[in-house]
């Protein structure tokens, strides 16, 4: 029944993709193991990331169980769906509970999806190393599961933080799966996280470099990275905005 719900949601997502006429490209999906435990680590730029990162699993006949903030599970709309699809709630005040659930899922041979950036990045490039969480690396080392980096770009143009969205059809979205990262002998979670960060940052940069729909006027394009002359915040400014948003959410809670 859980997988039935998940597959219905996949069908709805595909219908949404068609309705928006999205130009979606997925490459490297064969790098995701077709069986056994896997930790998928992806960049985070939109509320819709999971739909597109999940496509990688679908291409391999697998379902990704995403680790998501606990507030999503409290929602009357999304909560029942998240639980029915066996996604994993993360309460930042009790991260050990989420870690135990993720361990159980991996030992059961599932694919667990993790966002090492934790919150959506407003710079639309991968956050700095110091803002990267070590959870994905810990899970890979503790369970022996391969750590598979998945990079995407263009999703934030559809719907992201601060009320940014666009209903315009035909946007290009690209998803790329990198080679699995295997922990080296004696490698710490910190060291593996650095490797993961640098690989994801490189992959996202490559996606931006070859993006087929660059803005005609970058300086006024809110979704184009500041490092390329766009109007998106720099990483430093984005970090301050992220911290303010998290603080506001904690106060509200």
The percentage of the chain sitting over the pLDDT mark of 90, rounded to a whole number, equals: 79
Does 244 map to a domain? Answer: no
Does 155 map to a domain? Answer: yes
Confidence of residue 223 (pLDDT cuts 50, 70, 90): very high
Q: The CATH number of the domain where 210 resides is what?
A: 3.40.1130.10
CA distance 137 to 83: 25
CA distance 199 to 140: 16
pLDDT of residue 78: 85
pLDDT of residue 93: 65
Q: CA 36 from chain center: how many Å?
A: 20
Confidence of residue 69 (pLDDT cuts 50, 70, 90): confident
Does 7 map to a domain? Answer: yes
Residues spanned by the domain of 186? 2-217
Q: Average pLDDT of the chain?
A: 92
69-72 contacts, C-beta under 8 A, 24 or more apart: 71/249, 71/253
**Quick one: which of 122, 223, 113 has its CA closest to 173?**
223
pLDDT of residue 161: 93
Q: What is the mean pLDDT of residues 47-70?
A: 93
* 87 close to 65: Cβ distance less than 8 angstroms: yes
Does 122 map to a domain? Answer: yes
Q: CA 6 from chain center: how many Å?
A: 18
pLDDT at 94 over 80: no
Confidence of residue 165 (pLDDT cuts 50, 70, 90): very high
Q: What is the mean pLDDT of residues 207-226?
A: 97
pLDDT of residue 1: 43
* 172 close to 211: Cβ distance less than 8 angstroms: yes
Confidence of residue 242 (pLDDT cuts 50, 70, 90): confident
pLDDT of residue 72: 86
Q: What is the total residue count of the chain?
A: 253
Does 227 map to a domain? Answer: no
Q: What is the mean pLDDT of residues 66-95?
A: 85
Does 202 map to a domain? Answer: yes
pLDDT of residue 76: 83
Tens-digit pLDDT profile for residues 3-27: 889 999 999 999 999 999 999 999 9
* 171 close to 158: Cβ distance less than 8 angstroms: yes
Helix (H, G, I), strand (E, B) or coil at 88: strand
Q: Residue 81, exposed/middle/buried by CB under 10 A (0-12, 13-18, 19+)?
A: middle
CA distance 88 to 51: 16
Helix (H, G, I), strand (E, B) or coil at 41: strand
Helix (H, G, I), strand (E, B) or coil at 96: helix
Does 86 map to a domain? Answer: yes
Reading the block at residue 70, the tokens are: 């606990």
Tokens 């969205």 belong to: 165
Does 143 map to a domain? Answer: yes
Reading the block at residue 115, the tokens are: 């966002």
Total domains in the fold of the chain: 1
């Amino acid at each position: 029944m859980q997988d039935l719900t998940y597959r219905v949601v996949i069908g709805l997502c595909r219908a949404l993709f068609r309705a928006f006429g999205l130009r979606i490209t997925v490459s490297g999906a064969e790098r995701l193991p077709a069986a056994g435990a896997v930790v998928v680590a992806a960049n985070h730029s939109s509320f819709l990331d999971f739909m597109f990162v999940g496509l990688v699993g679908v291409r391999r006949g697998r379902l990704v169980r995403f680790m998501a903030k606990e507030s999503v599970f409290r929602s009357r709309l999304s909560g029942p769906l998240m639980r029915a699809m066996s996604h994993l709630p993360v309460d930042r005040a009790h991260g050990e509970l989420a870690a135990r659930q993720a361990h159980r899922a991996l030992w059961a041979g599932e694919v667990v999806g993790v966002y090492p950036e934790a919150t959506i990045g407003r710079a639309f490039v991968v956050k700095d190393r110091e803002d990267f969480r070590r959870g994905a690396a810990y899970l890979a080392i503790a369970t022996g599961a391969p750590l598979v980096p998945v990079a995407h770009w263009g999703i934030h143009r559809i719907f992201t933080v601060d009320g940014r969205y666009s209903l315009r059809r035909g946007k290009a979205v690209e998803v790329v799966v990198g080679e699995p990262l295997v922990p080296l002998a004696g490698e710490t979670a910190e060291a593996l996280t650095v490797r993961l960060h640098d690989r994801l940052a490189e992959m996202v940069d490559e996606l931006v470099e070859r993006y087929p729909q660059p803005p005609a006027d970058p300086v006024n394009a809110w979704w184009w990275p500041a490092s390329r002359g766009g109007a998106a915040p720099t990483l430093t400014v984005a970090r301050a905005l992220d911290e303010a948003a998290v603080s506001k959410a904690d106060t509200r809670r």
